[in-house]
Amino acid sequence: MTRIDDTFARLKAEGRKAFVAYVMAGDPEFDTSREIVLGLPAAGVDIIELGLPFTDPMADGPTIQLAGQRALSKGQTLDKTLQIARDLRDTGDQTPIVLMGYYNPIFSRGVETFLRQAKEAGIDGLIVVDLPPEEDAELCLPAQAAGLNFIRLATPTTDDRRLPKVLQNTSGFVYYVSITGITGAAAAQAGDVGPEVARIKAATDLPVIVGFGIRTPETARAIAQVADGAVVGSAIVSEIAQGRSPSEVLAFVRSLAEGAHAA
């Protein structure tokens, strides 16, 4: 059992849905990013997705692309990203942290070294969007052997033939991408998402969390009503891009969390 598994078990016992927040590590710079991450649990976040900045983020829209560029321009690195996770753990907080990004920085570090460092820093799971199930031996299986969840994305184009392959070796939860396209491209619609979530849940016992296109507390609530929880990323990153203070960003996050938890 990982912290992610424990969190979903607790939420289920409480009859609540999960709220997952994504922020880019190092955006707009290290100290502000660190302050925001450390404040997320108190803002009602059940699981933190910590973005690892990368120069070629092919699955991300302009908002998160620019966040990665800002972070990299300020010297954000893999080591500094792990340091943010380590700092949260040093406070004693046990909120699960999922590191989300691309394989290149991990491959460059070396899988064995990276997994050891991630585990030591308090990372609980990985979302690596450019490693399909056919490449599970690269990172997915070693990560699970190291005690980290490997979380896979399903999309509107994941048909019934492809779905079993996507679910193979997935753990922690399934991340359902509510729209076809990049992050921040469109608004999620609960009426469209509900049947897809039901289809995925019929094929797995894992929780199904929905992300992409959720920008308001109302949408977070509507999506959480038809899934096991909601993920918000671009809307939070947009607040940071507009120069909001950490307290203002966290107040916005709290409103989203309250929406999801009201489902």
The residues assigned a catalytic role are 49, 60
Question: In the chain, count of helices (H) and strands (E)?
Answer: 12, 9
Helix 190-201 and helix 217-225, axial crossing angle in degrees, nearest 10: 40
* Distance, CA of 248 to CA of 7 (rounded, Å): 26
Q: CA separation (Å) from 165 to 132, 152, 155, 195, 210?
A: 9, 10, 13, 20, 19
CA atoms within 13 A on the CB side of 74: 20
Whole-angstrom distance, CA of residue 244 vs CA of residue 240? 5
Tokens 């916005």 correspond to: 252
List C-alpha distances in Å: 9 to 16, 86, 155, 180, 229: 10, 24, 25, 30, 13
Cβ pair 142, 109 in contact under 8 A: no
